[in-house]
Chains A and B, each alone.
Chain A
Amino acid sequence: MVESLPPEELARRCQQTLPDDTRAFELLVRHYKERVFATAYRIMGNRQEAEDQAQEVFLKVYRSIEHLDDPATITSWIYRITTNTCLDALEKQKRRPNLWPLVPPNDERDAEVDYADPHMPTPEEAALRHELRRCLEQTLAQLDAHDRATLVLRELEGRSYQEIAESLALGLSAVKMRIHRARLAFQRLLERVCPGIWRGDHTEASATPTL
């Protein structure tokens, strides 16, 4: 029965039962782990760092959920912790030798990611889509960390302007400005990382609808 509780109720249960009983917390982790891990992966750029930071996020949740004033804001709160934890980790990386490349070698990524898509009937088209995604991931990984976090929250996680504002501790107008600038920066960088993709020389890119 507890399994079917909505996240805000799980948060409330955690506040009542931690640290003695961790069952509600385990369900909360199960509910959010995909989103936290995917967000961390997109911001950090590799799986090992993503796992380390995702673990940190949930430890912070465990230690401080009792101080969460409104359990209804649990989702924004977890996104905020995720974004801040990852941005802090990237900031620390800048101050020490880079232990992990932001973009792992292609073979490592290829082993981890299943690019199979039932809508791509021919191997050639599948290869083109693979190439497009590789370009997009490389561009995203090379973007300024704050721009990357903004695009990840907006374009990949589908968060609202208000949720992004809460996650990044910015005003609504500042978030909209940042989204616009990040999109323009992404386009400029994509042209450098994979010349031709933006102009539509690439079959797959040209197949992407220009809205």
Chain B
Amino acid sequence: MTNDNLNVNLTDLADGTLAGPEWDAWLAAHPEAAAEVAIARRVHALVAELRAIPVGVPADFEARLMARVSEDATLLDLLELHLAGMGRVLLEILSALLDLLPQPAAVQPAGGNLPA
């Protein structure tokens, strides 16, 4: 078993997703691995102790968030209006520039001699 595979299995053993007499026997035959599993199980139990500490959400959390959402929506609207406005201005400038360009001369037929 590679070290990586071993770590994967040790997590499964610590969390009980791998269990049974064959694994008990395997752990008994591998004291270093068994020691790591014991550490992992105890850390699991210790850290879970922190779940008991309530982490209260600030009272005005939702109000602040919805105010920011509203600002966000307003900004997006303004940006859309701004971009739409800019687009219109750009089109007008382009159109004015095209008007300034010299109109192409009428095409003369080849030979230059007009029929009588």
- Taking A22-B69, A37-B55, A113-B54 as contacts, is the C-beta distance between A180 and B45 under 8 angstroms? no
- Taking A19-B73, A51-B61, A177-B4 as contacts, is the C-beta distance between A151 and B42 under 8 angstroms? no
Contact partner of B64 (CB less than 8 A), chosen from A30, A55, A117, A136, is A55
Check B65–A55 contact: CB distance below 8 A: yes
Check A155–B44 contact: CB distance below 8 A: yes
Q: What DSSP secondary structure best describes chain B's contact surface?
A: helix
Asked if B50 is at the interface of the complex by the 8 Å CB criterion, the answer is: yes
- Taking A173-B4, A183-B14 as contacts, is the C-beta distance between A26 and B72 under 8 angstroms? no
Asked if A132 is at the interface of the complex by the 8 Å CB criterion, the answer is: yes
Total A-B contacts with CB atoms under 8 angstroms apart? 122
Asked if A159 is at the interface of the complex by the 8 Å CB criterion, the answer is: no
Check A51–B58 contact: CB distance below 8 A: yes
A172 to chain B, nearest CB (A): 8
Q: Interface size for chain B: under 10, 10 to 19, 20 to 34, or 35 or more residues?
A: 35 or more
- Taking A51-B58, A176-B7 as contacts, is the C-beta distance between A62 and B69 under 8 angstroms? yes
B26 to chain A, nearest CB (A): 16
Q: What DSSP secondary structure best describes chain A's contact surface?
A: helix
B21 to chain A, nearest CB (A): 18
Asked if A12 is at the interface of the complex by the 8 Å CB criterion, the answer is: no
- Taking CB atoms and an 8 Å cut-off, the chain A residues in 180-211 that contact chain B are 180-181, 183-184, 186-187, 190, 205, 208-211
Interface residues of B (CB under 8 A from A): 4-5, 7-8, 10-12, 14, 36, 38-58, 61-62, 64-66, 68-69, 72-73, 76
Q: List 24 A-B contacts (CB under 8 A).
A: A19-B76, A42-B55, A55-B68, A58-B65, A112-B56, A113-B55, A115-B53, A132-B49, A133-B52, A133-B53, A136-B47, A155-B47, A155-B50, A156-B47, A156-B50, A176-B8, A177-B4, A179-B11, A180-B36, A183-B14, A184-B36, A186-B43, A205-B46, A208-B49
